[in-house]
């Protein structure tokens, strides 16, 4: 994935159209609304339809409620996910142009089109008595391809994960863990499977140091995009401490 702030998804008429590389029905663009501690308060979104050439019209998936409903259904409906590909801004721009949209608007222009927000439940983090530490969970919907060279292997490489449980075992929970120091903060993260074929999560613990708080947000953003780039759909960013 590239470093664009917005998340782009191509929506196809059928899974076969997606797999054959047919032109999409439209493009869903999202942005997580973050709190000061980098937890998620909501998801802003807008859709573009190749049929109408317009932004912000009726949902391309038939969802009642526009792009916020599409955004919600993408995370709860496996059939819809089978018709969607998470892509980079560059790939979204290519599809937009191929469908007759011209040059993809700049991200500031797309943000100005946001009208729908999917609110996410928020709760104060639990006080676990660990001063100077934070614990985050980034939840993802979908499944990773566990074949050699597939999505799981790519995520493990991108996140520099050391194996814990056997990743080939569908009952394995923690498939890898890693540590790093950045901007004076100590980070530990692990990739967890939440039930076979159900969901995944990235759990990250930050032991805060003297550096800027923005390093926390940068790591969470990088890891979320690396996992999204392998086909999983980020659902929310929670904090437990």
What is the DSSP code string of the chain? --S-SSEEEEE-SSHHHHHHTPPPSEEEEEEEEE-TTS-EEEEEEEEEETTTTEESSS-TT--TTTHHHHHHHHHH-HHHHTTEEEE-HHHHHHHHHHTT--SPPPHHHHHTT--EEEE----PPP--S-TTEEEEEEEEES----STTSHHHHHHHHTTPBP-S-TT-TT-SEEEEEEEEETTEEEEEEEEEETTTTEEEEEEEEE--SS-THHHHHHHHHHHHHHHTTT-EEEEEEE--
Structure tokens at 78: 């496996």
What pLDDT is recorded for position 195?
Answer: 77
List the domain boundaries for the chain. 7-119, 133-239
Q: Rounded CA gap, 66 and 128, in Å?
A: 40
Local confidence pLDDT in tens for the 241 residues of the chain: 444 589 999 999 999 999 998 999 999 999 999 999 999 999 999 999 999 999 998 888 877 668 999 999 999 999 999 999 999 999 999 999 999 999 999 999 999 999 889 999 876 676 555 568 999 999 999 998 876 568 999 999 999 999 887 766 766 789 899 999 999 999 999 999 987 778 999 999 999 999 999 999 999 999 999 999 999 999 999 999 8
Model pTM score: 0.92
The neighbour count for residue 68, using CB atoms within 10 Å, is 23
CATH of span 133-239: 3.30.2030
Give residue 226's pLDDT.
97
What pLDDT was estimated at residue 164?
87
């Amino acid at each position: 994935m590239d470093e664009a702030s917005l998340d782009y998804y191509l929506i196809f008429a059928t899974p076969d159209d997606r797999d054959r590389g047919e032109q999409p029905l439209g493009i869903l663009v999202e942005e997580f609304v973050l709190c000061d501690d980098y937890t998620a308060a909501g998801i802003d979104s807008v859709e573009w339809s190749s049929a109408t050439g317009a932004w912000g019209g009726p949902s391309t998936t038939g969802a009642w409620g526009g792009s916020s409903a599409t955004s919600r259904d993408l995370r709860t409906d496996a059939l819809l996910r089978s018709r969607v590909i998470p892509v980079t801004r560059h790939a979204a721009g290519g599809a937009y142009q191929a469908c007759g949209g011209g040059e993809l608007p700049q991200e500031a222009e797309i943000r100005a089109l946001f009208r729908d927000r999917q609110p996410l439940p928020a709760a104060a983090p639990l006080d676990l008595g660990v001063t100077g530490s934070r614990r985050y969970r980034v939840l993802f919907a979908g499944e990773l391809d566990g074949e050699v060279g597939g999505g799981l292997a790519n995520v493990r490489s991108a996140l520099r994960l050391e194996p814990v449980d056997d990743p080939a075992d569908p009952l394995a929970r923690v498939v890898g863990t890693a540590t790093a120091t950045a901007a004076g903060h100590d980070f530990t993260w692990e990739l967890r499977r939440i039930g076979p074929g159900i969901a995944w999560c990235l759990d990250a613990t930050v032991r805060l140091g003297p550096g800027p708080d923005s390093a926390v947000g940068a790591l969470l953003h990088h890891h979320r995009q690396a996992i999204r780039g392998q086909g999983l759909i980020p659902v929310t960013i929670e904090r437990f401490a």
